[in-house]
Structure 1
Amino acid sequence: MNKKIEIQELGNKDFKDTWEYQEQLFKQILDIKVKNRREDAGLDTPNYFLFVEHPHVYTLGKSGDMSNLLLSEEELEKKEATFYKINRGGDITYHGPGQIVGYPILDLDNFFTDIHKYLRFLEEMVILTLTEYGIKATRSEGETGVWLDVGTPFARKICAMGVRASRWVTMHGFALNVNADLGYFDNIIPCGIRGKAVTSLHVELGLEKVNIDEVKEKLLKHFKTLFEAEFNIQKTEA
């Protein structure tokens, strides 16, 4: 089992370009798995974890409802935002500046073959990170992601998640609001859940801006522990 993960910092990158890059890495891992099965090749499968910040974009999961996007094409253009229907689970979400988007592209055969556990570990990584900022975050039953004040009228989501998996290979991932412009969430029914708000770390801390690199370091620290992984970190213009 190869527990080494290549961490790639993609910087600010268009959603569609990043999606295509994810698909490329995803296919590479699947091809190795097929070769191993057919030829008993015994090749290690690589693992990746992409960090990226996207320009304003709305994405709708395969089981999502188009009516949860509250903007017309013209209104999207005015807001300089794009929209894509994509192949992850979940409904509609927003990505944009000030948000940490993480795409782990892992062969779970290298770690554990349990998608439920995988999602819970991603949530735990975020929960432990927020704890370091003095924020008590939790899960909300039946609603993937990380929330604050669950069970109260003030419940609000700080991190959205949606993944795709095939033959235990994962793609897509999580979006943690760090310095996000929350006004963009007003244009959708986030994750198809009505009556619940969205928040961002800088708002919760009462700060103008939070150090994003510091948050990433904390996320990786907890991810490494949870997945018992080894890291190779690099900046890339993939």
Structure 2
Amino acid sequence: MASRSAVLIGNEKAQEAQSARAVFWGICEYREALRRMDEAQRDRRDGAIPDTIFYLEHEPVITHGRATPTEHLHRTDHGIPTFEVPRGGLATYHGPGQLVGYPIINLANRTGGRRADIHDYLRALERALVSFLRDECQLAAGTRKGLTGVWIEDAANPRKIASIGVSARRWVTAHGFALNINPDLGAFRAIVPCGLEGDPMTSVENEFALAGRAFAARPMKDVAGELHRFVCAALREQGWGGETRES
């Protein structure tokens, strides 16, 4: 059954020092998480809540954007629920062991006279994930020209470790990113993940195994707390999270 808990990550003082509040939902059924995300997006547009990033794990589910070709879905008889969602990106799998982040950010609330820009926001999320993987996991993470997401840099065999798909209404964001910590990578074989036929999906656990390093699973709430610092830093670099007037 989906978790309905919502736990602040860090104490109040730590929350105040960040550019966005962090809340952990635990493991959530997808439809319930979508309902809560939509509600939070409305609350942010109305000024009822501050910029907030909700971290969670999903029960097994396949989601896809509206532009996803049908041949990218149901490649095996997997029995995993499938949902079409109003976000960018194609098909992807979510499940336990994957850290999902739903940033609910008012992009119009930006310092330095800079305009709201969804592309700057996407690049900020990429930089946060790359920095986290490099600094905290010692993995050779990076991006690829013309594509959105994060890969393990291997010229002979690039492997995708994090996916990003976002939407925005009146410049308030929804959906977000999914970072593979230790999910069931076999579930990705049910689809063409992110439309990339030739690029295998990977995870922190898998990359540790390939490098002969020991992987110790940690509570996902703790991982979310570490990642949150990098996300907030990347948002601040782009002018989000400073002292600005609400629009």
In structure 1, stretches of 5+ residues that fail to align are 33-42, 231-238
Alignment of 1:181 with 2:196, yes or no, is no
Q: Which stretch of structure 1 is more off in the superposition, 97-106 or 217-226? A: 217-226
CA RMSD of aligned residues (A): 2.1
In structure 2, stretches of 5+ residues that fail to align are 1-15, 243-247
Going from structure 1 to structure 2, the CA distance change for 1:140 and 1:164 (only over 3 Å counts) comes to same
Determine the structure 1 residue equivalent to 2:69: 65
Determine the structure 1 residue equivalent to 2:56: 52
Alignment of 1:224 with 2:232, yes or no, is yes
1:1-238 map, 5 Å: 5-30=20-45, 32=46, 46-71=50-75, 75-77=77-79, 81-111=80-110, 113-132=116-135, 133-149=137-153, 152-206=155-209, 207-211=214-218, 212-228=220-236, 229=241
Using the alignment, how far apart are the partners of 2:181 and 2:72 within structure 1?
23
Contact 1:45 1:107 in 2 (8 A): no
Size of the alignment, in residue pairs? 212
The Cα shift of 1:63 comes to 1.6
CA deviation digits over 1:108-163, x for unaligned, max 9? 1223611111011101111011112211111111110001125x231010000000
Query: Normalising by the residue count of structure 2, what TM-score does the alignment of the two structures yield?
Result: 0.79
Identical columns (%): 33
The Cα shift of 1:70 comes to 2.7
CA deviation digits over 1:55-74, x for unaligned, max 9? 110001122122101347xx
Contact 1:59 1:84 in 2 (8 A): yes
SS in 2 for 1:198: coil
Query: Normalising by the residue count of structure 1, what TM-score does the alignment of the two structures yield?
Result: 0.82
Using the alignment, how far apart are the partners of 2:140 and 2:206 within structure 1?
14
